[in-house]
Amino acid sequence: MNRIDGRNLPFTVGRGTPAKIGRQIARIYAAWAEQPPPAAEVWRTAAKAVGLDEQSPFFNAGYDVARTLDLGEGTGIQHGYHNKTHYVEVLSNAAHLILRNNKADLDDIVLTQVERGKVLFAALTHDLYYEPGGNKDSRGNWVPYRLEAIAFLQAQPYLQKYGVTKEDIDDIRVMIFTTDVTPASQAGSFLRRAHAYFFGGGEKPIVTGVQESVSRVLQEPRLARLAGLLSDADILSSAGLSPEYNGAQGLRLDREFGRASCPRDTINFLECVAGDRFTTRAARFFQPNMEAIKEAVLAAMSASPDLARNLTRRCVDRPNTNH
């Protein structure tokens, strides 16, 4: 079993180029995949890294969830992508991005302890009790927020047990729902536009086809930041560490779907899910790595006639859910 070093990446900002730091974090996660650490230990380390008081309701709620995961409950698809391995990676990514956000005082948003607790808790629980099939029903129709609703309903009692306020619980619901990046929900793209409106000089997005559970990010800049950090943490392992680790993540997703992906899937993921850019400035430290991943895939596709044909088509019936 791997021990968790809270004095090192990803629980510090680290020193070095995006490529160097991304590869260092990827090596740590690869070791965790071989010898999974207890989720409770990762939770305690992440909470300590961001200064979350162990007496706080969020710490206790998250610690209880982590211990439940360590007992084998709610762990998703064991040999796939959406499972405890993913949960602890997103949790660790979230801690790293919180540190980057607060260290740089980005856009005058320094997260309070309550806000840090909300981001960490949402990161750990956003795919809780994940089921095969993605956000589709038994007939293959898209059902926006299907899995996100399951995750939130399973996570909510832990928050209520420790007296987390209804307002903070509602914020966590919004944050978890914004991790639905399927076209049917429009949640991921709406969040990116809302965050850009508040912090990047973008136009105010029109609230069309987006449920209230997501549209609230357009009313509260700080909530948009929290959701943005969660969204970036969710895709960082696939979109921002290294081309090699992107490939490893893709293999996990292939096992989950029971079919091989094609290179076009990676391009679809980067363009459609990630929007070719991380949402927050904290995560954009890793933007060069996202570009390197895309360049590596395009180079491989261009070098092979069979792969090159994938440049002009999407793979059939492959949802962009590598998150």
Q: How far apart are CA 235 and CA 287, in angstroms?
A: 12
pLDDT tens digits, one per residue of 231-240: 999 999 999 9
- Contact of 48 with 108, CB cutoff 8 Å: no
Question: Which of these, 160, 164, 217, lies nearest to 188 by C-alpha position?
Answer: 217
Residue 11 belongs to a domain: no
**Which residue from 133, 31, 118, 34 is spatially nearest to 82, judged by alpha carbons?**
133
Residue 93 banded pLDDT, cuts 50, 70, 90: very high
Q: Residue 269 sits in a domain of what CATH number?
A: 1.10.1300.10
> pLDDT confidence of 142, banded at 50, 70, 90?
confident
DSSP helix/strand/coil, 247: helix
Top-confidence residue, 272 or 93: 93
What value does the mean pLDDT take over residues 136-147?
88
Q: Is the pLDDT of residue 297 over 90?
A: yes
Sign of the CA dihedral running 38, 39, 42, 43: negative
Q: Is 73 helix (H, G, I), strand (E, B) or coil?
A: coil
Per-residue model confidence (pLDDT) at position 248: 95
- The answer as to whether 318 is a domain residue is no
Angle (CA) 19-24-28 rounded to 5° is 145
For range 111-118, the mean pLDDT: 98
**Stretch 301-311: mean pLDDT:** 67
What is the average pLDDT across 110-117? 97
- Mean pLDDT check: name the lowest of 13-22, 44-53, 165-174, 296-305: 296-305
- Work out the percent of the chain whose per-residue pLDDT is above 70: 93
Encode pLDDT of 34-50 as tens digits.
Answer: 999 999 999 999 999 99
Residue in 107, 113, 118 with CA at minimum distance from that of residue 197: 107
Is 104 a member of any domain? yes
Q: Are 231 and 188 in contact (CB under 8 A)?
A: yes
Assign 19 a pLDDT band (cuts: 50, 70, 90): very high
What would the mean pLDDT of 206-210 be, rounded to a whole number?
A: 77
Q: Which backbone phi and psi does 136 adopt, to 5 degrees?
A: -125, 150
Q: What is the DSSP letter of 242?
A: -
Q: How many CB atoms lie within 10 A of CB 203?
A: 8
Q: Where does the pLDDT of residue 137 fall: very low under 50, low under 70, confident under 90, or very high at 90 and above?
A: confident
pLDDT at 180: 94
Average pLDDT across the chain, whole number: 91
What pLDDT was estimated at residue 277? 96
Q: CA-to-CA distance for 162 and 215, rounded, in angstroms? A: 27
* Reported confidence tier of residue 311, pLDDT bands at 50, 70, 90: low
31: containing domain: 18-312
Residue of 138, 249, 227 whose CA lies nearest to 181 = 227
CA distance 313 to 293: 19
The structural domain count of the chain equals 1
Query: Which of the four pLDDT bands, split at 50, 70 and 90, describes residue 306?
Result: low
Q: What is the pLDDT of residues 157-177, one digit of tens each?
A: 999 999 999 999 999 999 999
* Residue 130 DSSP symbol: -
Q: Is residue 231 part of a domain?
A: yes
Q: Does some domain include residue 201?
A: yes
Of residues 191, 265, 193, 196, the one with CA closest to residue 234:
191
Does the structure show a pLDDT above 80 at 314? no
- Within 10 Å of residue 34's Cβ, how many Cβ atoms? 7
In angstroms, the CA 291 to CA 17 distance is 14
Q: 313: pLDDT confidence band, cut at 50, 70 and 90?
A: very low
Residue 5: inside a domain:
no
Lowest-confidence region among 16-25, 162-171, 175-184: 175-184
Predicted confidence at residue 7, as pLDDT, reads 94
Which residue has 């660790």 as its token pair?
92
Token look-up 């590869």 returns 23
Tell me whether residue 284 is in a domain. yes
Query: Where do runs of H (alpha helix) occur along 145-242?
Result: 146-161, 166-177, 187-199, 212-215, 221-239
N-terminal to C-terminal alpha carbon distance within the chain? 25
Q: How far is CA 241 from CA 50, 57, 248, 294, in A?
A: 21, 32, 11, 12
Distance CA(115)–CA(111), nearest Å, equals 6
- Given this model, what pLDDT does residue 167 score? 97
Q: What average pLDDT score do residues 300-311 get? A: 69
Q: Tokens 């997703």 label which residue? A: 253
